[in-house]
């Protein structure tokens, strides 16, 4: 399948409710391996930068994208992404896109796509301000100094409610850097489970991630090829930091109650040299833990369970890496920002409270409960933990373990990774000791 047609199919499936990763893994096998990277880049770029691309399209079409035929709009986004972000030569970006669109749309509607994309190429060239991957002003975008929210929502391509809540909390310059970070394609990071330097196989190149000693960015090659030769997992430094933050010595038995797909489970078992029981409500997701656990020969067992009704008491250590909005990992989930809404956040806070309360009952006196998220939102993080400690006087917050990076620890002692400072995903964790 033509890579642009594949990107269009992915956008169509996501529009109809599919998750972007799953849509991509269904459609990409039909694309020539040499073209898969381009198809994925275009599809995920169109999802991440949807609002930016629509602002360009709005500036040269006769109607707003919201009033366009959806299939036509997706073709326009695909063309606009190539013209403004990939800087594909105009003749290829317009010609190839219109060519692929013609067989799906027919001549008339493909002619419309052609006219709008040609106009876009013209206005892009008269605009000097808005370069690729920079939060610059100019072109059809609001002036960032006059209308920072409008700019972050259009050029920054984030939903307004998220932009407003972040601006109420952090400086404009930080929110800009956060938005910019979430708009870049994510990197793949290999976390070594030993102290040895990795010896990658032919065709794989790894670069150390500064500041994160056992983390290496995959520069070349496939993750599966890298892992087949290394004692390692694919894990962003933020997720590794949560594993490290659990502490210097863990009490057994160790339970990971929202474990799937299990990279933190593997990290816990390898780092602390202990058996770990992995529980998750999703059988399908949990099944992904089996093969890497066998490859690494780690003592991990898995079972399906609802963390709100744990079939365990007297655990020594419980990790609750709860379901969350994932606002710290938006760059990894191309379509996620457009699915999130305040109500979803509120519902997740309730679910997290139920899970943390059930976990509290499963930990024995003296044991440790580690609560973590990949969210940046207070309600899911420190406010959730503060409210828990108000309910449970038999728990207290434990200080960070030795070796925790001070720039990633809050005034309360919790781990908090801010992507615009660390260059990693966002993550939060708190250590809660049962004292009675």
d(CA 39, CA 36): 5
Among residue numbers 341 through 380, which ones bind ligand SAM (CB under 6 A)? 355
CA 218 to chain centre: 17
d(CA 57, CA 63): 9
> One of 153, 258, 359, 374 is an active-site residue; which one?
374
Q: Residues 176, 135: contact at Cβ < 8 Å?
A: yes
* Residue range at the interface with ligand SAM (CB under 6 A); choices 126-134, 301-309, 363-371, 420-428: 301-309
Catalytic annotation present for 258: no
**Environment class of residue 15 by beta-carbon count within 10 Å: exposed (0-12), middle (13-18) or buried (19+)?**
middle
Is 223 an interacting residue with respect to ligand SAM (CB under 6 A)?
no
Is 280 an interacting residue with respect to ligand SAM (CB under 6 A)?
yes
Q: What is the per-residue binding string for ligand SAM in 384-423, x denoting contact by CB under 6 A?
A: ----------------------------------------
- Binding ligand SAM (rule: CB under 6 A), the pick from 18, 281, 296, 387 is 281
Q: Residues 183, 156: contact at Cβ < 8 Å?
A: yes
Is 317 an interacting residue with respect to ligand SAM (CB under 6 A)?
no
- Binding ligand SAM (rule: CB under 6 A), the pick from 306, 353, 409, 420 is 306
Range 138-160 burial, b when 16+ CB lie within 10 A, else e? ebbbbebeeebbbbbbbbbbbee
Q: What is the DSSP letter of 169?
A: T
3-state secondary structure of 257: coil
Is 282 an interacting residue with respect to ligand SAM (CB under 6 A)?
yes
* Residue range at the interface with ligand SAM (CB under 6 A); choices 52-60, 206-214, 254-262, 399-407: 254-262
Nearer to ligand SAM, 100 or 266 (CB): 266
- Closest distance of CB 308 from ligand SAM, Å: 5
Is 21 an interacting residue with respect to ligand SAM (CB under 6 A)?
no
- Binding ligand SAM (rule: CB under 6 A), the pick from 58, 308, 332, 405 is 308
- Binding ligand SAM (rule: CB under 6 A), the pick from 159, 253, 316, 323 is 323
d(CA 248, CA 209): 23
CA 123 to chain centre: 33
Is 186 an interacting residue with respect to ligand SAM (CB under 6 A)?
no
434 DSSP β-pair partners: 395
d(CA 352, CA 361): 14
Nearer to ligand SAM, 114 or 215 (CB): 215
- Binding ligand SAM (rule: CB under 6 A), the pick from 131, 221, 253, 261 is 261
- Kindly give, in sequence order, each residue whose CB lies less than 8 Å from that of residue 18, ignoring residues fewer than 6 positions away: 26
- Closest distance of CB 201 from ligand SAM, Å: 25
Q: Residues 256, 317: contact at Cβ < 8 Å?
A: no
Half-sphere exposure (CA, 13 Å, Cβ side) for 315? 26
Active site residues: 374
Judged by the rule CB under 6 A, the positions of this chain that interact with ligand SAM are 239, 257-264, 280-282, 285, 306-308, 321, 323, 355
């Amino acid at each position: 399948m033509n890579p642009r047609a594949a990107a269009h199919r992915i956008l169509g499936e996501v529009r109809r409710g599919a998750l972007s990763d799953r849509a991509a893994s269904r459609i990409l096998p039909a694309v020539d391996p040499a073209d898969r990277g381009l198809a994925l880049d275009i599809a995920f770029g169109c999802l991440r930068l949807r609002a930016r691309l629509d602002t360009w399209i709005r500036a040269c079409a006769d109607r707003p994208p919201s009033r366009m035929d959806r299939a036509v709009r997706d073709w326009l986004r695909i063309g606009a992404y190539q013209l403004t972000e990939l800087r594909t030569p105009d003749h290829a970006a317009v010609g190839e896109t219109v060519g692929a669109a013609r067989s799906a749309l027919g001549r008339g509607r493909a002619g419309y796509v052609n006219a709008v994309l040609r106009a876009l190429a013209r206005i892009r060239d008269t605009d000097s301000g808005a370069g690729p991957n920079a939060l610059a002003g100019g072109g059809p975008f609001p002036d960032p100094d006059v209308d920072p929210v409008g700019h972050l929502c259009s050029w920054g391509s984030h939903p307004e409610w998220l932009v407003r809540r972040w601006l109420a909390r952090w400086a404009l310059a930080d929110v800009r850097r956060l938005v910019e970070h979430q708009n870049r394609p994510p990197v793949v990071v290999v976390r070594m489970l030993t102290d040895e330097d990795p010896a990658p196989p032919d065709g794989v190149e790894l670069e150390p991630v500064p500041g994160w000693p056992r983390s290496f960015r995959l520069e070349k090659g496939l993750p599966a090829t890298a892992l087949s030769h290394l004692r390692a997992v694919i894990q962003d430094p933020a997720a590794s930091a949560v594993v490290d933050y659990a502490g210097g010595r863990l009490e057994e038995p160790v339970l990971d109650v929202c474990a799937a797909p299990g990279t933190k489970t593997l990290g816990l078992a390898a780092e602390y040299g202990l058996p770990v029981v992995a529980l998750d409500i999703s059988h399908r997701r949990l099944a992904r833990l089996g093969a890497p656990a066998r490859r690494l020969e780690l003592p991990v067992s898995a079972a399906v369970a609802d963390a709100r009704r744990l079939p365990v008491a007297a655990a020594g250590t419980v990790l609750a890496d709860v379901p969350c909005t994932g606002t710290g990992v938006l760059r990894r989930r191309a379509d996620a920002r457009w699915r999130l809404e305040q109500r979803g956040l509120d519902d997740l806070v309730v679910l997290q409270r139920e899970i943390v309360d059930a976990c509290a009952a499963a930990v024995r006196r003296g044991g440790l409960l580690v609560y973590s998220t990949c969210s940046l939102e207070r309600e899911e993080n420190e406010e959730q933990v503060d409210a828990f400690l108000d309910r449970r006087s038999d728990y207290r917050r434990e200080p960070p373990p030795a070796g925790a990076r001070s720039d990633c620890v809050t005034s309360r002692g919790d781990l908090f990774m801010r992507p615009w400072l660390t260059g990693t995903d966002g993550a939060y964790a708190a250590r809660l000791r049962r004292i009675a």
